[in-house]
């Protein structure tokens, strides 16, 4: 049939528009019959790398990933993303340690938001192990990764102090202070007051998590002079629960710093620090 002023192409175009209108109407009516139509959520992605490249923070969906030295600036970037995207549920981390206060601050964020902590890459050591790993709701250790402790302000009296030196290139050295050097170090008024303050902060930190702070000093107590970790069963005895790791953790590896797997003594009793 011919309509004056219409070409065949126009008829086809109008028919196409009519079908599109019908399809949209059907979709809307079917959605209206459902209790709730779930909107598609945007996937958030981004990354920030420190100017000196010693750390980076990335976000991908519901996961924030931290790699490198734990610093106040790095933790501030994590906090900003957690505030902006409260749907984040997991913190992935690979870190050799870093600033104690920044580590505690990151751990407090993890605890307050109920985040899971996934150790990725090769290690979570020092401040990462002490304060971030112990704060996770659920904790996982990727195959080949290690959680490494080597001390904290809760160290027993007379135990040598490991002074952590972080270089500009991101490498970390540990200087052992003992004997006369240790005595001279501890006798400095500002050091003595700082140590007592830090001990109080650490006690409170671990008590809040139900974790025995001796996880950070046990190697020093038994005089192993080492970096150490624990198997999952002993982590549980120390109050670090909900840990998932490969069978036989830690697996033998030549990567990373020398590591000793400590076994709690059969008569081990949890200290008052962090007792539930």
**Alpha-carbon distance values, 38 to 31, 34, 35, 41, 64 (Å):** 10, 10, 10, 9, 24
Contact 110, 79 (CB under 8 A): no
In a domain, 270, yes or no: no
In a domain, 14, yes or no: no
Better-scored residue on pLDDT, 228 or 12: 228
CATH code of the domain covering residue 186:
3.90.226.10
pLDDT at 87 over 70: yes
Q: Could you give the number of structural domains in the chain?
A: 1
In a domain, 16, yes or no: no
pLDDT at 260 over 70: yes
Which range among 20-24, 76-80, 98-102 shows the weakest confidence by mean pLDDT?
20-24
Which range among 133-137, 235-239, 258-262 shows the weakest confidence by mean pLDDT?
258-262
- Predicted pLDDT of residue 155: 76
Region 188-211 average pLDDT: 88
Better-scored residue on pLDDT, 21 or 237: 237
- Predicted pLDDT of residue 116: 98
Better-scored residue on pLDDT, 101 or 13: 101
In degrees and rounded to multiples of 5, residue 157 shows phi and psi of -60, 140
- Predicted pLDDT of residue 178: 66
- Predicted pLDDT of residue 114: 98
In a domain, 171, yes or no: yes
In a domain, 9, yes or no: no
Give the β-pairing of 90-95 and 116-125. Answer: parallel
Better-scored residue on pLDDT, 134 or 195: 134
- Predicted pLDDT of residue 111: 98
Which range among 9-23, 61-75, 181-195 shows the weakest confidence by mean pLDDT?
9-23
Contact 119, 140 (CB under 8 A): yes
pLDDT in tens, 113-154: 999 999 999 999 999 999 999 999 999 999 999 999 998 988
Contact 72, 50 (CB under 8 A): no
Mean pLDDT over all residues of the chain?
Answer: 81
Better-scored residue on pLDDT, 182 or 3: 182
In a domain, 6, yes or no: no
- Predicted pLDDT of residue 238: 96
Verdict on whether the full-model pTM lies above 0.85? no
* Residue reference for tokens 């809760």: 154
In a domain, 19, yes or no: no
pLDDT in tens, 7-59: 444 333 333 434 444 333 433 344 444 344 444 455 678 999 999 999 999 99
Q: By C-alpha distance, which of 261, 272, 224, 229 is closest to 133?
A: 229
SS (H, E, C) the chain: CCCCCCCHHHHHHHHHHHHHHHHHHHHHHHHHCCCCCCCCCCCCEEEEECCCCCEEEEEECCEEEEEECECHHHHHHHHHHHHHCCCCCEEEEEECCECHHHHHHHHHHHHHHCCEEEEEEEEEECHHHHHHHHHCCCEEECCCCEEEECCCCCCCCCCCEEEEEECCCCCEEEEEECHHHHHHHHCCHHHHHHHHHHHHHHHHHHHHHCCCHHHHCHHHHCCCCCCEECCHHHHHHCCCCCEEECCCCCCCCCCCCCCEECCCCCCCCCCCCCCC
pLDDT in tens, 155-169: 776 665 666 666 666
- Predicted pLDDT of residue 79: 98
Domain residues for 91?
45-261
In a domain, 269, yes or no: no
């Amino acid at each position: 049939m011919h309509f004056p002023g219409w070409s065949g192409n126009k008829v086809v175009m109008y028919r196409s528009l009519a079908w599109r209108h019908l399809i949209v109407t059907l979709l809307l009516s079917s959605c209206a019959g459902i209790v709730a139509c779930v909107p598609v959520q945007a996937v958030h992605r981004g990354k920030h790398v420190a100017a000196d490249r010693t750390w980076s923070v990335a976000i991908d969906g519901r996961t924030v990933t931290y790699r490198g030295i734990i610093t106040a600036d790095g933790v501030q970037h994590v906090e900003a993303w957690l505030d902006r995207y409260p749907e984040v549920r997991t913190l992935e981390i690979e870190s050799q340690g870093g600033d104690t206060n920044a580590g505690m601050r990151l751990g407090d964020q993890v605890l307050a938001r109920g985040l899971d902590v996934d150790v990725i890459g090769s290690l979570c050591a020092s401040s990462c192990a002490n304060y971030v790993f112990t704060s996770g709701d659920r904790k996982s250790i990727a195959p080949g990764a290690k959680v490494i402790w080597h001390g904290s302000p809760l160290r027993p009296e007379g135990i040598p102090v490991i002074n952590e030196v972080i270089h500009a290139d991101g490498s970390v050295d540990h200087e052992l202070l003992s004997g006369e050097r240790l005595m001279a170090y501890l006798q400095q008024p500002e050091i003595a007051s700082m140590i007592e303050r830090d001990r109080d902060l650490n006690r409170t930190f671990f008590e809040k998590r139900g974790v025995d702070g001796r996880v950070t000093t046990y190697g020093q107590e038994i005089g192993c002079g080492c970096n150490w970790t624990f198997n999952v069963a002993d982590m549980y005895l120390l109050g670090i629960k909900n840990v998932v790791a490969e069978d036989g953790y830690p697996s033998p590896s030549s990567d990373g710093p020398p590591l000793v797997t400590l076994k709690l003594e059969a008569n081990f009793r949890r200290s008052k620090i962090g007792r539930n």
